[in-house]
Amino acid sequence: MLQKNILKLMFSTLFTFSLMLGLVIFLPLSIITKSIQNLNPGLSFQSTNGNWWNGSVWLSYREFKQVNMQWELDLQHLWSGQIQSRVNIEHSSLKGSTLVNLPLHNLYSKKPVELYLDGGQFTASIAQIIHYLPSTPYPLPPITGQVTLFNESLSLDIQQLDHQGHGLPMINLHSPIRFSTSNILVSNSLNIGVFNGKITSTSTPLSYQLFLTNPSTPLMMTGYSVLTAHELSSNYQVNPSDNVASELITLLDLLGKKLQNGGYGFNTRYPI
H/E segment holding residue 108: helix 105-108
Closest C-alpha among 151, 141, 144, 139 to residue 124? 144
Please give the share of the chain, as a percent, with pLDDT higher than 90: 5
**Letter for the amino acid at 192?**
I
> How many CB atoms are located within 10 Å of the residue 168 CB?
15
Please answer whether residues 220 and 238 qualify as being in contact, where contact means their C-beta atoms are separated by less than 8 angstroms: yes
pTM of the model: 0.67
Q: Does 19 fall in a domain?
A: no
Alpha-carbon span 240 to 79, nearest angstrom: 57
Residue 18 has pLDDT above 70, yes or no: no
Domain membership of residue 177 as a residue range: 112-271
Q: Does 158 fall in a domain?
A: yes
pLDDT (0 to 100) of residue 237: 92
Residue 15 has pLDDT above 50, yes or no: no
Q: Does 179 fall in a domain?
A: yes
Residue 210 has pLDDT above 60, yes or no: yes
Q: Does 247 fall in a domain?
A: yes
Q: Does 186 fall in a domain?
A: yes
Residue 231 has pLDDT above 70, yes or no: yes
Total count of domains within the chain: 1
Higher pLDDT, 242 or 137: 242
Least confident of 18-27, 33-42, 89-98: 18-27
Residue 225 has pLDDT above 50, yes or no: yes
H/E segment holding residue 57: strand 54-61
Report pLDDT digits (tens) over 77-92: 777 777 788 889 888 8
pLDDT (0 to 100) of residue 59: 83
The maximal CA–CA distance of the chain, rounded, in angstroms, is: 101
Average pLDDT over all residues of the chain: 76
Please answer whether residues 119 and 98 qualify as being in contact, where contact means their C-beta atoms are separated by less than 8 angstroms: yes
pLDDT (0 to 100) of residue 91: 85
Work out the average pLDDT over 181-196.
80
Alpha-carbon span 96 to 66, nearest angstrom: 15
Q: Does 22 fall in a domain?
A: no
Q: Does 147 fall in a domain?
A: yes
Higher pLDDT, 151 or 25: 151
Residue 185 Cα distances to 190, 192, 227, angstroms: 5, 6, 24
Please answer whether residues 150 and 119 qualify as being in contact, where contact means their C-beta atoms are separated by less than 8 angstroms: no
Enumerate the H helices of the chain as residue ranges: 2-25, 29-39, 105-108, 126-132, 158-161, 246-255
Please answer whether residues 218 and 252 qualify as being in contact, where contact means their C-beta atoms are separated by less than 8 angstroms: no
Q: Where residue 195 falls among pLDDT bands split at 50, 70, 90?
A: confident
Q: Does 206 fall in a domain?
A: yes
Check the CA dihedral 58-64-70-73 and report its sign: negative
Which of 10-14, 76-80, 136-140, 179-183 has the highest average model confidence (pLDDT)? 179-183
Burial call 209-226: b when 16+ CB within 10 Å, e when fewer:
bbebebeeebbbbebbbb
Residue 12 has pLDDT above 70, yes or no: no
Report pLDDT digits (tens) over 58-69: 888 777 788 888
Please answer whether residues 185 and 191 qualify as being in contact, where contact means their C-beta atoms are separated by less than 8 angstroms: yes
Work out the average pLDDT over 6-25.
44
Q: Where residue 170 falls among pLDDT bands split at 50, 70, 90?
A: low
Backbone angles phi, psi at 136, to 5 degrees: -100, 160
H/E segment holding residue 212: strand 206-214
